[in-house]
Structures are given as structure tokens and as C-alpha cells.
Amino acid sequence: MTWSDVYLLSPELSVAAAALLALVAGMANAHRGVVTALGLLGLAASLVLTGLLWAELDGNVDLCSVLGEDSGTALHGALAVDRFALFFKGLIGVSTALVLLASYAYTQRFASRGPEFTSLVLFAATGMMLLAAGRELITLYVALELSTLPLVALAAFSGGQRASEAGLKYLVLGAVASAVLLYGMTLTFGYTGSTVLESMAASVSDAALDGSRPFGVGVLVLGVVMMVAGFGFKVAAVPFHGWIPDVYEGAPTPITAFLSVASKAAGFAVVMRVFFTAFEPLEVDWALLFAGIAAASMTFGNLAAIQQANIKRMLAYSTIAHAGYLLVGVAAVAARTPDGVTIGPETVLFYLGGYAVTNLAAFFAVIAVANRTGSELIASFAGMGRRAPWLAAALTVALLSLTGIPLTVGFMAKLFVFGAAVKADLAWLVALGAVNSVVSAYYYLRVVRVMYLGEPSEGEQPSRAVPLDLSVAVTALAVVALGLWPRPLFHAAERAVERLF
């Protein structure tokens, strides 16, 4: 590794260094506030360095000559340093910082293992950042494992039967998905003769010339399908969603929020980079495949969420449905405007940013309410509109955004994604998505009805935590702000994808 590599990978190295410092502080019996502060400082440094790299790509600063006008590479071309990777590094960094802030009071439940909790979250975030930057299959696989294994430990971190079941299920099913993904990569490598995405595209172009069957060559069909299965596990799409409900319910709620946002963002980052780069010549074929998965994910996720009594399980199935909405945008990229501009990628990035603040707001509010009631059942949220009006308001805003109600970022996200799909002649998928959005209103608004019209339960214990309250306020305000003024996020998403093709 050269000094230029250190500079280019400084966002990831900052987070990894903070993870190691958190462990050292734990061994020195430092206060948990110190450990959390170290993690937040590492993430802040990572975000600053990410901003500097973005500014250098824009030509606003000139700190190092290793970056060209559009992008650079690190570790002999294994990792990309472009706006696409930097966008996801920023998104993952902000999400991780908010999760650590909201977890401060929650970690009292396992105070003796607090440093390990913080360190594992940071190591997982490091893997996710590397995953967004990978431009070579082996690097992507190693980064995927680095992001997954800490999450296995975190899923079982709180102890107990449910947590142990969550960790074991995530480990076993994750291992199966990892093996399937590796087999798919192996078959693809066998056909293309390369693990570098750009080099693979040249060989895939030959297969695209054979229009007699999908993907042109049988071995390539199998390889792509197996890779879709492996990545489908990461983004929680049907039929690779089996782990979601039990893991989301059994894991500590901050980790559930982390899984639903940062892990999903990293998963879509690698899907977009691999398919938009290596398999771009076959875009018509895999776009149809993703369209089918999107339809199944939207429908199953929303229908299954209706009957849930536990709010974490309800949000788990909601996550599956939103994976379907995101895949609508991914499927739209097969269409191009008359001047050759690809449709859809920027809408997916905007959706991921909006979904991040929305889902974090929802889960943070759930943590705060559960701290008061001692329960995660939807029925226990009764009367929160009177007992904790600001918490009920924050959760209501998040649920309205998840539904896609105007004046929230969720509405703008669905508007952009569905608009791209219409331009891509996927009107049938948009119609299905609109119907599913109406269906989702039933179970989202049911929670709102319980909070404002239900009778409050007895024995409720007041519980306040300033870091958690701050996290709820920041994310809820961001949901509204980005709904009223989406341009900054959408502009960043446009800049991130303009050089990806």
C-alpha cells in the first residue's frame, strides 16, 4: 500500500482506526461515553475526508495528484475512488454515526460489552464502505464478508433465546448466500477470464450478440442468477428474504436500524456497480429479472406486514417491500433517452438517502417508545399521542414517509423512481407499486391510529435519553426537509452516477 492509497482510502481507514481505539479504550475500562465519542470522532473524520475527496474530484481543492478529473483507483485498481463510492461512504458514515448516537443509552443493557458493540458496528461500516468502492470480484467478496460477520455477532449481542436465534439464522443463511454468490462469481470468471468489472464487460459483450436466449451463454445465465441470489440476500429481496423477520425482531433495535439502512445501501451499491459495469451489455435481460423480483418483493412484503403485531416485524416486512421499490429503479436503467442518457440510477440513490433518514427516524422512535413501555407490540403504543406527543409526531412523520405521503421525502423518492420506470416502459410495474403503496398505508396508519386513538396502558415508565432524543429529532426533521427541498440530495445523486457508465 502506497501513501496515495492511504490518502484515497482514508475514509475507511479512519473508521477502522476508530474501531480499534474503541477496543483499546474498552480494555482500559474507559467510560462508555468515551468509547462512543471515539467512534463518533472516527466517523466525523471519515465524513470530512470523504468531503475533501469529493471536492477534489470537482476540482475545488487539489490535495493530491493521484486523483484524476473523474476518479481514481486504489490498491492496484481493486477499489474505485469516484463520486459513486464517495456518495455511499457518506451515506453509510452518517447512518452509522446516528446509530451510535441513538445506541448510547441502549448499551446500558450490556455495559460490560459496550466497547465491543461500538467496535463491531464500526468494523461492519468499514466493510460496507469498501463494498461500495470495489471494482473487482475478489475484493467485493472480501468486503462483503467484512461487513457481514460483525453483523452476525451484533444480531445476537443482547443475549437470550430470540437474539441467539437471530444470530444463528443470520450466520447460517448468510453463509449459504455467500457460497452461492461465490459460485456465481466463479462461473462468471470462468467465462470472462477476469475478475475486474471493466474487463468482464468486454467478454460479456460477445454473449450479448447472441439474442436467441437470455444472457446469450448458459454458463453466464447460471453465474448471473447465482450472483443475483447472493446480492438479493444482502438487500432483503424476495425470495432471499427468509432471514429478515426473525433477525430484525431478535437483534437489538439499533442494530435492526443499522441493518435496514446501512447494509441495504451497501447491497444496492454493489448491485449497481456490478450490473451497471460488468453486465451493462446484457442490461435488457437483467433488467427484466430485477423487475420480476421487484414485483414479488413489493407484493409479499406489504401483504405479510399487514398481519404483524410486533412493530419490528412489521418494519422488517416493510423493508422487503422497499427493496422492491428500489429494484423498480434498478430495472429502469435498461431504457435510454434519445441522446443515450441512462434512466434510473440517480433515482435509486435518492431513494436510498431518503429511506435512510426515514427508517432511522422510525426505528429511533420505536426505541424511545419501547424504553417507556417495555414492549415492542403495536398495542403498547396506545396513547403515545398524549403521553409523548413529540415522539408520536416523529414516528407519524416517518410512517407517512414510508407510505409515500406528499411533503415527505418518501413521496419524492417514489415519485422519482416510478417516473423513471414509466420512461422505461415499465408502466405495469409502476401500477403494481402504486397499488402496493395503498396497501402499505393500512398497516402504517394502523400504528398512527393506535398512538392517537388508543387508550394508554398503565404502568408506563418515563425514560429520556438526550442522545436518542437528538437522533429522533434530526432524522424526523430531515424527512420533512428533504421532502420540501429534495434538490441537494438529488443533485448529489446525479453527480454520483454520471461517470458510472
For residue 481, the Cα-to-chain-centroid distance in whole angstroms is 20
pLDDT score recorded for residue 456 = 75
Q: What is the pLDDT of residue 362?
A: 93
For residue 374, the one-letter residue type is G
Q: What is the model's pLDDT at position 458?
A: 63
pLDDT of residue 340: 53
CB 19 within 8 A of CB 42: yes
Question: Smallest Cα–Cα separation from 103: which of 22, 165, 17?
Answer: 22
Nearest 5°: the CA angle 489, 467, 248 is: 70
- Could you give the 3-state DSSP secondary structure of residue 158? coil
Residue 195 in contact with residue 138, Cβ under 8 Å?
Answer: yes
Residue written as grid cell 475514509: 11
Q: Which three cell numbers stand for residue 192?
A: 470472462
Sequence-distant (≥ 6) Cβ neighbours of residue 217 within 8 angstroms: 191, 207, 210
Distance CA 260, CA 495 (A): 25
Model's pTM, two decimal places? Answer: 0.92
In this predicted structure, what is the pLDDT of residue 433?
Answer: 92
The parts of the chain modelled with pLDDT lower than 70 are: 1, 59-71, 111, 206-216, 334-343, 457-464, 501
pLDDT at 338: 46
Question: CA 448, CA 462: separation in Å to the nearest integer?
Answer: 20
**Model pLDDT for residues 352-383, shown as the tens digit of each residue:** 999 999 999 999 999 988 888 888 888 888 88
Sequence ranges of the domains in the chain: 285-501
Residue 160 gets the label, from left (phi > 0), alpha (psi -120 to 50) or beta, of left
Phi, psi of 110 (to 5 degrees): -140, 60
Q: How far apart are CA 167 and CA 346, in angstroms?
A: 34
Closest alpha carbon to 412 in 421, 401, 422: 401
What is the distance between the alpha carbons of residues 17 and 145, in angstroms, rounded to a whole number? 19
- Dist CA 283 CA 275 (whole Å): 8
Residue 455 gets which letter from DSSP? P
CA–CA distance, 217 with 224 (Å, rounded to integer) = 11
Distance CA 465, CA 368 (A): 8
Which of 295, 379, 389, 276 shows the shortest CA–CA distance to 336?
276
pLDDT of residue 62: 56
Report the alpha-carbon distance of residue 279 to residue 205 in Å, rounded: 8
Contact 319, 264 (CB under 8 A): yes
Cα–Cα distance, 469 to 472 (Å, whole number): 5
| Residue 445 backbone dihedrals phi, psi, to 5 degrees | -70, -20
Residues pairing with 81 in the sheet: 72
**Is there a cis peptide before residue 406, judged by omega within 30 degrees of 0?**
no
